[in-house]
């Protein structure tokens, strides 16, 4: 499926016979809500933070999964620093106070990172669900511990023609 981008030619009017003139075919999307198919890792992470609170619009598969990988790798690295640091402190017979301080500091950094990326994670998932033709309300399954449901829905094929914001 291809996505049309940019304004219509001829001063904003759609010329006669244009593919989307009668509402058929792929919807023409404004650049601020259009997905970025085939996004690289850097482009996806950049858009992840640029559109941190944008719940309207669409996100391509690559945009969603590259940002998901960024979050997982970042959290893995932070937990690795935490584990290695605590193990090194305990192996060197450091005082329990220094190990406790390091643990609290690292867990605090992990918590701050989690809170700082919570809104962008929700936003990119809602945009990805819109791209699959689903409502962003599927994210609410995460409130009940069913995070896997929206993740599975994010794997579906892109079908932005099935979801229209005016239906919400």
pLDDT digits (tens, 9 = 90+) for 59-106: 889 999 999 999 999 999 999 988 888 777 777 766 667 777 877 888
Q: Give CA–CA dist 117/123, Å, rounded.
A: 10
Instruction: Return the minimum-mean-pLDDT range out of 11-25, 80-94, 125-139.
Output: 11-25
Sign of the Cα torsion 133, 135, 136, 142 reads: negative
Q: With 70 as the cut, is the pLDDT of residue 16 above it? A: no
Query: Given this model, what pLDDT does residue 28 score?
Result: 63
What percentage of the chain exceeds 90 in pLDDT?
A: 29
pLDDT at position 93: 67
Q: Which phi and psi angles does 26 have, rounded to 5°? A: -70, 140
CA angle 94, 100, 101 (to 5 degrees): 100
Residue 162 CA neighbour count, 13 Å, CB half: 14
What is the rounded CA–CA span in Å between residue 131 and residue 128? 5
More confident: 144 or 92: 144
Its pTM stands at 0.73
* pLDDT score at 66: 94
Closest among 58, 20, 67, 72 to 156, alpha carbons compared: 58
Check residue 49 and give its pLDDT.
92
pLDDT of residue 113: 94
pLDDT at 126 over 70: yes
If you search the block for the tokens 């099935």, which residue do you land on?
A: 162
CB contact at 8 A, 14 and 39: no
């Amino acid at each position: 499926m291809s996505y049309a981008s940019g304004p219509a030619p001829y001063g904003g009017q759609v010329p006669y016979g244009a593919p989307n003139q009668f509402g058929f075919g792929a919807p023409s999307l404004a650049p601020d809500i259009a997905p970025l198919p085939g996004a690289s890792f850097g482009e996806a992470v950049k858009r992840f933070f640029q559109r941190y609170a944008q719940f309207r619009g669409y996100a391509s598969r690559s945009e969603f999964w590259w940002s998901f990988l960024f979050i997982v790798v970042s959290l893995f690295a932070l937990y690795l620093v935490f584990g290695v640091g605590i193990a090194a402190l305990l192996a060197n017979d450091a005082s329990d106070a220094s190990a406790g301080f390091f643990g609290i500091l690292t867990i605090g950094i992990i918590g701050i990172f989690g809170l700082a990326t919570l809104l962008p994670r929700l936003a990119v998932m809602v945009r990805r669900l819109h791209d699959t033709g689903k409502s962003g309300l599927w994210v609410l399954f995460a409130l009940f511990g069913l995070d896997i449901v929206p993740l599975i829905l994010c794997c579906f094929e892109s079908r932005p023609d099935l979801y229209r914001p005016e239906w919400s």
